[in-house]
Chains A and B, each alone.
Chain A
């Protein structure tokens, strides 16, 4: 090892250690927002259109999953809008139902729409920023759509009128989907004061202000009518 190379390696090592330490410090400084979204209205799964032309009872569908909510920062911290890879997500078509019913992704995400039924579906959306029609494809096949613009995408099946789902596309990663009990947690939020909104089936709450402190969890409850 020549002295010149050795000096360079040492400098790189010191820089790497410094960056790691700084990164750990950044993670340690972040906090979280958690709480529960209470739905104070009856939310029924979408019913089939009453068609009198059927010769028999339409297929049974399994009980719908509870309609989950999405909680998100209305204004994200500076630097949160850096272009992200987005990754991949799946919105399955199973038993004449989109699973999950609500999907939240960041911009740049490619969403797969596999058909897990033994008959055709035809996924489409006429939402602004997400207008697409995947046509009819059989069981085991899948098609995908990349979502590059933030917004709410309503997804339907052109064959089965009761099939619908929501894809919420965010330009930042500070959002969370509630669990079956309505609880949520948004992690890795830089300290600061934010406006937070809860969304459920097209209904949004009034923005609520919350202050996130270093390494602490801030509680925020929502009630949607």
Chain B
């Protein structure tokens, strides 16, 4: 598979020269269409460290995105993005209207399937803005926790440690299914978003149907999550951001079950995040810290009345070595709070660490070949390690 990507890279250079390097501009510039094509090849990952669902690994992925922006007058823009992975079904990733009520004030209202408000990574284009092949753990790694199914007790949750790719619980939906990442970067939420900015400060607030872990198209109970983000740019090249999100995370089936129990507390997900970016010359450094807490009242005996928490830390460096050639690295860790099972205490999900190093070379302005080596470590008895070299060819216009 890696050889296939290498062959694709060499054989596609000439072809890419004749392909568009910029977006297609139609109707006098009122409609622009762009696209991203990604072909990724890597080794088998038996521990499911790199999976985004039960059957989809980021290391073995063909992804095609088509993005369009249509201006409807001076104040209104329609934006959308379609995606297909491994030539499967076509999904609508984004579909929203952006309204700028006052032409000379930098305030925008966006409604529909909107870009993620929370965090520093989820809005970045996976192919072009990600210097490595893998996604940050916080935005991709699947914990065992689900929105439609709940563990009966602490012991049942502990039995699912390290099995987020296909977890199964007793309460709610009992069918096996993948669990939640801390933030879902591949699926966007539906709601209403307001954004205001100056040259130094940006603030964004949104109400959405899902949560940052489980964005949704709609929910029977309407818009329920509140999420906000503030960004400050104290000097050129330095960006400091902070985010907060809070909303009920159970979907309808499990929520009905929780209501029937007459629990005192609510099943709420609360997340806090801080991110920073500094760039100068040929160096770019990014760091992100986030804490997510899922309040699961019926497990309070196992959690000592505290929510299930996850803490994610990520540091990323990118260094341009020569025109078109760069090296990059990312160091990450996911940690989890401890709970009590049957005669044992442990983190409710297995802590995971990942180091990924690699680089990329721009064959043309819009064709890039990346390769990265990643080592994952998880505190589980089986499949506790995964090391692999992956390559990716990215083309965009």
Contacts and interface: CB of A to CB of B under 8 A. Distances in A.
Contacts of A154: 365
A123 B29 CA distance: 25
Interface in B80-94: 80-81, 93-94
Interface in A143-202: 154, 156, 161-162, 164
A101 to B, nearest CB: 14
B368 to A, nearest CB: 11
Interface in A12-46: 42, 44-46
B123 A47 contact: no
A53 B125 contact: yes
Given A57-B108, A126-B364, A52 B323 contact: no
Given A53-B125, A125-B323, A126-B365, A135 B22 contact: no
A162 B34 CA distance: 12
A80 interface: no
For chain A, what secondary structure do more than half of its interface residues adopt (helix, strand, loop), or is it mixed? loop
A119 B98 CA distance: 24
B238 to A, nearest CB: 11
A55 B117 contact: yes
B174 to A, nearest CB: 36
A88 interface: no
Size category of the B interface is 35 or more
B106 A50 contact: no
Nearest to B235: A138
Interface stretch (B195-203, B215-223, B378-386): B195-203
A4 interface: no
B23 A44 contact: no
Interface stretch (B1-9, B155-163, B274-282): B274-282
A51 B128 CA distance: 11
A46 B193 contact: no
A131 B280 contact: no
B20 to A, nearest CB: 11
Contacts of A6: none
A208 interface: no
Nearest to A136: B279
B323 A50 contact: no
B208 to A, nearest CB: 14
B40 to A, nearest CB: 20
A119 B279 CA distance: 11
Contacts of A137: 280-281
B124 interface: yes
Interface string B378-397: 00000000000000000011
A55 B365 contact: no
B22 A47 contact: yes
Nearest to B279: A136
B179 interface: no
A34 to B, nearest CB: 33
B322 A48 contact: no
Contacts of B33: 50
A134 to B, nearest CB: 9
Given A57-B106, A136-B280, A156-B365, 10 more contacts: A47-B32, A49-B397, A50-B33, A50-B67, A55-B110, A55-B117, A56-B195, A120-B279, A135-B320, A138-B237
Interface of B: 22-23, 25, 28-29, 32-34, 67-69, 77, 79-81, 93-94, 96, 98, 100, 106-108, 110, 115, 117, 123-125, 193, 195-197, 199, 202, 204, 229, 236-237, 279-282, 320, 322-324, 362, 364-365, 396-397
